[in-house]
Amino acid sequence: MAVYHSTRYTSVAIILHWVMAIAFLLMLASGYTMEYLEIPKELKFNLYQWHKSLGVLLLVAFVLRILWRVTHKPPFLPLSMPRWERKAAKLGHFLLYVCMLFVPLAGWAMVSASVYGLPTIVFGWFEWPHIPNLAGNEAIGGLAKTAHWVLAWAFTALILGHIAAVLKHRVIDKENLLTRMWWGKKG
Ligand code: HEM
Ligand code: HEM
């Protein structure tokens, strides 16, 4: 029997969650396309610019999101959920935040350390600075590239786990967690 929750996330949290979720999925799709698909050179160049542009904007969005998070408590998880599941949800969410910060930071460090010094012009609108004193630093560049790659794959796995958890609650526990991350049901 489903137990419905008396609360949901606030509107600010809901908007940030879904706008950022769509943006991160686009980042993964563009990243994997750049790396693994044969596409024309010019399209590839444009995709890199696009990937960098949206990526650095997501760093700004992350700052807003973490500010929301440290000033608000998320709604209580249902008590019908076993303790291990509540712990797993908390750990999973924490690791999602870690990836939301360190994947774009590693990307930024990678392009800042590049010997090419290509600027990041955010959607042709303004220049996002490189991290100072990194240009041409091959050791940091290599490390950042590996970190971006490893963390992007970890992020992909975490997002799949996150979606699988929501589905598991829906299908097996007959509990719709999506109402917690959408408007409507208040209790
Ligand atoms: C694609 C990137 C995504 C990221 C980075 C992400 C991240 C997060 C994080 C960190 C939380 C916990 C918020 C907190 O308590 O601080 C959360 C909650 C939630 N997410 Fe996502 N999410 C993503 C996509 C999705 C998708 C596609 C779904 C739909 C299946 C979804 C459904 C939910 C739901 C229902 C909650 C509320 C969980 C609860 O407390 O009951 N998320 N998400
Ligand atoms: C915001 C989250 C981000 C996600 C989810 C993401 C995801 C990815 C993925 C999946 C790849 C392909 C990795 C592979 O399997 O080889 C990639 C590559 C790349 N990303 Fe990102 N990225 C993000 C942010 C950024 C940022 C902020 C920058 C730079 C400002 C950036 C620059 C790059 C570059 C230059 C590559 C190509 C790497 C190479 O040549 O090996 N990314 N990204």
Give the percent of the chain with pLDDT over 70: 95
Give the span between the Cα atoms of 59 and 117, in whole angstroms.
20
- Number of folded domains in the chain? 1
3 within a domain of the structure (yes/no): no
Give the model's pLDDT for residue 5: 44
Q: Which pTM does this prediction carry?
A: 0.94
Residue partners of 105: CB distance under 8 A and separation at least 6: 59
Query: What residues make up the domain containing 49?
Result: 11-181
The verdict on residue 5 lying in a domain is no
Give CA–CA dist 137/123, Å, rounded. 26
Q: How far is CA 84 from CA 19, 20, 77, 79, 80, in A?
A: 29, 27, 12, 12, 12
Is residue 1 domain-resident? no
Q: How far is the CA of 108 from the centre of ligand 2 (A)?
A: 9
How does residue 77 score in pLDDT terms, banded at 50, 70 and 90? Answer: confident
At position 15, the amino acid (one-letter code) is I
The Cα-based distances of 18 to 54, 94, 134 in angstroms read: 15, 17, 34
186 found inside a domain = no
Helix axes 11-36, 41-71, angle to 10 degrees: 150
**pLDDT-based confidence at residue 186 (cuts at 50, 70, 90):** low
Taking the CA of 169 as reference, the closest ligand is 1
Domain assignment present for residue 116? The answer is yes
CATH code, domain carrying 24: 1.20.950
Ligand 2 pocket: which residues have CB below 6 Å? Answer: 24, 27-28, 31-32, 34-35, 48, 51-52, 55-56, 58, 103-104, 107-108, 110-111, 120, 145, 148-149, 152, 155
Q: What is the mean pLDDT of the chain?
A: 94
- On the question of pLDDT at 8 being above 60, the answer is yes
Distance between CA 19 and CA 16 in Å, rounded?
A: 5
Q: Does residue 106 surpass a pLDDT of 80? A: yes
Q: Ligand 1 site: residues with CB under 6 angstroms?
A: 17, 21, 24-25, 69, 74, 93, 96-97, 100, 159, 162-163, 166, 177-178, 180-181
Asked if residues 23 and 58 have their Cβ atoms less than 8 Å apart, the reply is: yes
Task: Return the best residue to mutate from 32, 39, 51 for the ligand 2 pocket (most ligand atoms within 8 A of CB).
Answer: 51
75 in any annotated domain: yes
Residue 187 included in any domain: no
Q: Is residue 6 part of a domain?
A: no
